[in-house]
Amino acid sequence: MERNETEEFSLPRVEDYEQYIGREAVARILGKASKLRDLHVINVNSTYYGGGVAELLSSLTLLMNGAGIRTGWRVLQGRPDFFNITKRMHNALQGDQINFNELKRDIYEDVVFENAARMHLDHDIVIIHDPQPLPLIRHFRKKAPWVWRCHVDLTHPDPDLWEYLREFVEDYDAVVLSLPEYAQNITTPQRFIMPAINPFSSTNKELTEEEIDERLSHYGIPTDLPLVVQISRFDKWKDPQGVIDAFRIARKEVDATLVLVGNIATDDPEGQEIFSDIVKCAEDRIIVLSVQDSALVNALQRRAAVVLQKSLREGFGLTVAEAMWKGTVVIGGDVGGIKKQIEDGVNGFLVDSVEDAAQKMVCVLRDPALRESMGHAARETVRSRFLMTRLMEDWLDLIASFVP
């Protein structure tokens, strides 16, 4: 059925990015998109909100539609036991161990089969995100290219689990990973595409100082001292405890308020438990909030004197790119995608211990000139490498490689 576009409701356009990427880049991307206009593309992932994949898909699918490529997004439905299993799989792909017994396999494969029965995928390109919907490919007579887009840090996957998943992965026509470092020994061609952010989303759009004040006061966040912020799902790989420990050390030397904000994704059953543990650490000047409020995320990333993303594993840190875009200095874990986003000492800091994080926190909090110059470099990094139009162009190139 034809979609109706009205003046009041219109899709984002590549042209909106001209102010950041220039007229030539806009024309080049639109040229590539126009060659793929007739295609019908579908994405499948496992949550509509919470976490970077949902954030990416919500922006990218609209921008693709704005450029005339019919791009859909479906979400896998599953009971909590299914998501318990897939979260363990996710952890094991990032280095944990898993007892992936027959019972778990059956639940995993049955739920994906049930979804396949309801999902009529007859598109020109099918893009499957992460391990949760990976076996879908088994249930279709494949007529089009299927791409598996894996967002996790695959440096140390559990070997047995990977061996099992590889059977599905090798049915795909291409695998897209965030970094060459995550490449696996598989027969499927592997491509590397780093994620990106949407500067116009409610998480990233410009805010006035009044709007920022309003959001912070709504949650009772004091602004009398500099803010140290980490925004992340409550997940052990994000090391919220490490952030609190580092803050406690740093506070012996500089006064500040720590704010940890997280949401809980529907496909992440561990979140509630980790939040319950971390909230016990809340005290004077340590605020722990579990909310889904992108305007608050935006306000905090803008007002923070420093943002932490002290991850122990991170395929790619969207929160890192978001804060950098706002000209805020980020202290990130020296792992995975963050290593490629932050150039240590140039546009932020990379750290590999609690003590290191504490020391960098003190250094940034004490030095407004450093915040200014590094923040500037950080924004420029995101402008040139991590805006949604670059991500869209990478996908257009990949899709074009499948079209005769």
Task: Give the β-pairing of 257-262 and 227-231.
Answer: parallel
Distance in angstroms (rounded) separating the CA atoms of residues 143 and 123: 9
Number of residues that bind ligand UDP (CB under 6 A): 18
- Draw the binding track, 184-213, toward ligand UDP (x: CB under 6 A; -: no contact): -------------------x----------
Contact of 379 with 346, CB cutoff 8 Å: no
- Draw the binding track, 243-262, toward ligand UDP (x: CB under 6 A; -: no contact): ------------------xx
- Decide whether 268 or 393 has the Cβ nearer to ligand UDP: 268
58 binds ligand UDP (CB under 6 A): no
Binding test (CB under 6 A) with ligand UDP, winner from 29, 47, 52, 240: 52
Instruction: State the CB neighbour count (10 A cutoff) for residue 320.
Output: 27
Distance in angstroms (rounded) separating the CA atoms of residues 242 and 358: 10
297 binds ligand UDP (CB under 6 A): yes
Binding piece for ligand UDP, criterion CB under 6 A, among 17-25, 130-138, 227-235, 275-283: 227-235
Binding piece for ligand UDP, criterion CB under 6 A, among 47-55, 65-73, 76-84, 180-188: 47-55
Binding test (CB under 6 A) with ligand UDP, winner from 84, 241, 294, 353: 294
Q: Would you give the DSSP letter of residue 138? A: G
263 binds ligand UDP (CB under 6 A): yes
Its sign, for the CA torsion 179, 180, 182, 185, is: positive
| Residue closest to ligand UDP, measured at CB | 52
- Decide whether 145 or 332 has the Cβ nearer to ligand UDP: 332
| Structure-token pair, residue 96 | 């944990």
* In the complex, minimum distance from the CB of residue 97 to ligand UDP, in angstroms, rounded to a whole number: 20
Rg (alpha carbons) of the chain, rounded to whole number: 21
| Structure-token pair, residue 310 | 């002290």
Q: Which of residues 306-365 bind ligand UDP (CB under 6 A)?
A: 316-319, 322
Per-residue H/E/C for 14-75: HHHHHHHHCHHHHHHHHHHHHCCCCCEEEEEECCCCCCHHHHHHHHHHHHHHHCCCEEEEEE
- Decide whether 132 or 359 has the Cβ nearer to ligand UDP: 132
* In the complex, minimum distance from the CB of residue 290 to ligand UDP, in angstroms, rounded to a whole number: 8
For residue 5, what are the CA distances in angstroms to 133, 167, 313?
A: 32, 43, 42
- Decide whether 232 or 381 has the Cβ nearer to ligand UDP: 232
Residues that bind ligand UDP (CB under 6 A): 51-52, 55, 203, 231-233, 261-263, 292, 294, 297, 316-319, 322
